[in-house]
C-alpha cells in the first residue's frame, strides 16, 4: 500500500513486465505513495485510519491464505480487536491497545480450527503490529513525521535499487528456495541505496549523527528484505503467488507492506528501548 516502486518484487524479475501491467503498477504507486505521505504528514486520526484500513486488509488476506474462505467469520472477531486497538492508540492508550490485541489473539486461538490455530493467531499479531508500530512512532509531534518519512525512504529505496540491480547484475541467489529471483547483488544494492537515502532524509529533518543514521538504515533495510522473504515463504507454504489482487498490478496489500512491516516493527522496538512510550520516534532518530 505504501510501496512507491512500480516494478517492485523480484518474484517475477525473470519475466519482462507487459506494458499494461507496468502501467497498472505505476498508476497504483502514483496514487498510493502520496496518500501515504499526506496522512503521515497530517498525523492524528487520518494516519491511524490509513494504517487501520491497511491492517484490516492484511488480516483479511492472511486469513484467506492460511484458513480459506470457509473461515471468514474469524475475520470479524479479529477485525474487532484491530479496530478497538486503533481507537485505543488514538486516545493515547497504547498498553490497552496491546491488551486488546492479546484478547483478540486469545479469541482467535479458541475459535479457529486446531490445524490452523497458530497461523490465525500469528495473522492477528502480524496485522496488529502493522497498525501499532507506525502509529506509535508517528504519535511524537516533534519527530513522528520525520521517522515515518525515514522508514518510507529506507523501504522504498531498498525495493527500487534491489530490483534494478538484481536485473542488471544478477549473480548468486539470495534464498532460492523461498524467492528464486532475488539475488545478493540486489540485496546489497538495495541496502546501500537505502543508507544513502536515509542519510539525505535525516539531514533534511536536522539529524546530524551520520554513523547512527547509516547504522539504522542498514539494519532496517536488511530486516525489510527479511520481511519480504518471510511473506514469500508464507505464500509458498500455502501455495499462493500473491496475497490477493486488491491493488492493480501489485497483488495484495500484504505483498506491498511486507518490507515496511518488518522495518516499522524493528524501528519501533529500537525507539521504545531508547525513548520509551513517550518518545519512540525521538529514540530512533536522535542519538
Q: What is the pLDDT of residues 70-124, one digit of tens each?
A: 667 788 888 999 999 999 999 999 999 999 999 998 888 887 877 888 999 999 9
Task: Say if residues 14 and 181 touch (Cβ distance below 8 Å).
Answer: yes
Could you tell me the three cell numbers for 51?
Answer: 494504517
Query: Length of the chain, please?
Result: 287
CA–CA distance, 257 with 265 (Å, rounded to integer): 12
Examine the domain organization and report whether 188 and 98 are in the same domain: no
Determine the 3-state secondary structure of 178 from DSSP. Answer: coil
Task: Say if residues 67 and 11 touch (Cβ distance below 8 Å).
Answer: no
Examine the domain organization and report whether 204 and 250 are in the same domain: yes
Examine the domain organization and report whether 97 and 176 are in the same domain: no
In a domain, residue 191? The reply is yes
In a domain, residue 169? The reply is yes
Task: Say if residues 33 and 2 touch (Cβ distance below 8 Å).
Answer: yes
Examine the domain organization and report whether 268 and 239 are in the same domain: yes
Residue 218: domain span: 141-287
In a domain, residue 23? The reply is no
pLDDT of residue 33: 86
The number of domains in the chain is 2
Q: What is the pLDDT of residues 147-157, one digit of tens each?
A: 999 999 999 99
In a domain, residue 239? The reply is yes
Could you tell me the three cell numbers for 265?
Answer: 516493527
Q: Which residues contact 233 (CB under 8 A, 6 or more apart)?
A: 178
Examine the domain organization and report whether 105 and 236 are in the same domain: no
Alpha helix ranges (H) inside the chain:
19-42, 44-66, 73-90, 94-111, 117-138, 144-169, 184-204, 210-237, 253-275, 280-285
Task: Say if residues 213 and 199 touch (Cβ distance below 8 Å).
Answer: yes
In a domain, residue 20? The reply is no
Sign of the C-alpha dihedral, residues 275, 135, 262, 156?
negative
Per-residue pLDDT, averaged over 221-239, amounts to 92
| Residue 243: C-alpha distances to residues 65, 82, 96, 234, 269 (Å) | 7, 19, 30, 10, 26
Examine the domain organization and report whether 171 and 106 are in the same domain: no
**Per-residue pLDDT band at 125 (split at 50, 70, 90):** very high
Does the predicted model carry a pTM greater than 0.75?
Answer: yes
In a domain, residue 13? The reply is no
**How is residue 14 annotated by DSSP?**
T
Examine the domain organization and report whether 148 and 89 are in the same domain: no
Amino acid at each position: 500500500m505504501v510501496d512507491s516502486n512500480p516494478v517492485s518484487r523480484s518474484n517475477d524479475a525473470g519475466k519482462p513486465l507487459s506494458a499494461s501491467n507496468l502501467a497498472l503498477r505505476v498508476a497504483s504507486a502514483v496514487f498510493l505513495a502520496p496518500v501515504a505521505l499526506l496522512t503521515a504528514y497530517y498525523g492524528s486520526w487520518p494516519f491511524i485510519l490509513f494504517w487501520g484500513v491497511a491492517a484490516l486488509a492484511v488480516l483479511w488476506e492472511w486469513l484467506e491464505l492460511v484458513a480459506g474462505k470457509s473461515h471468514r467469520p474469524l475475520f470479524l472477531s479479529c477485525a474487532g480487536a484491530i479496530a478497538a486497538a486503533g481507537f485505543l492508540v488514538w486516545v493515547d492508550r497504547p498498553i490497552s491497545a496491546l491488551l486488546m490485541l492479546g484478547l483478540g489473539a486469545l479469541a482467535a486461538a479458541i475459535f479457529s480450527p486446531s490445524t490452523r490455530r497458530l497461523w490465525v493467531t500469528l495473522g492477528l499479531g502480524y496485522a496488529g503490529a502493522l497498525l501499532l508500530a507506525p502509529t506509535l512512532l508517528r504519535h511524537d509531534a516533534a519527530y513522528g513525521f520525520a521517522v515515518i518519512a525515514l522508514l518510507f525512504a529506507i523501504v522504498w529505496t531498498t525495493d527500487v535499487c534491489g530490483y534494478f540491480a538484481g536485473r542488471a547484475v544478477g549473480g548468486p541467489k539470495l534464498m532460492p528456495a523461498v524467492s528464486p529471483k532475488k539475488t545478493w547483488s540486489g540485496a546489497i544494492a538495495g541496502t546501500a541505496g537505502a543508507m544513502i537515502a536515509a542519510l539525505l532524509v535525516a539531514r533534511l529533518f536536522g539529524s546530524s549523527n551520520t554513523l547512527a543514521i547509516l547504522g539504522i538504515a542498514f539494519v532496517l533495510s536488511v530486516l525489510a528484505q527479511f520481511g519480504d522473504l518471510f511473506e514469500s515463504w508464507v505464500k509458498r507454504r500455502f501455495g499462493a503467488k500473491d496475497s490477493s489482487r486488491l491493488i492493480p498490478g501489485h497483488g495484495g496489500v500484504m505483498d506491498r507492506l511486507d518490507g515496511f512491516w518488518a522495518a516499522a516493527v524493528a524501528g519501533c522496538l529500537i525507539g521504545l528501548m531508547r525513548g520509551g512510550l513517550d518518545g519512540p520516534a525521538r529514540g530512533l532518530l536522535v542519538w
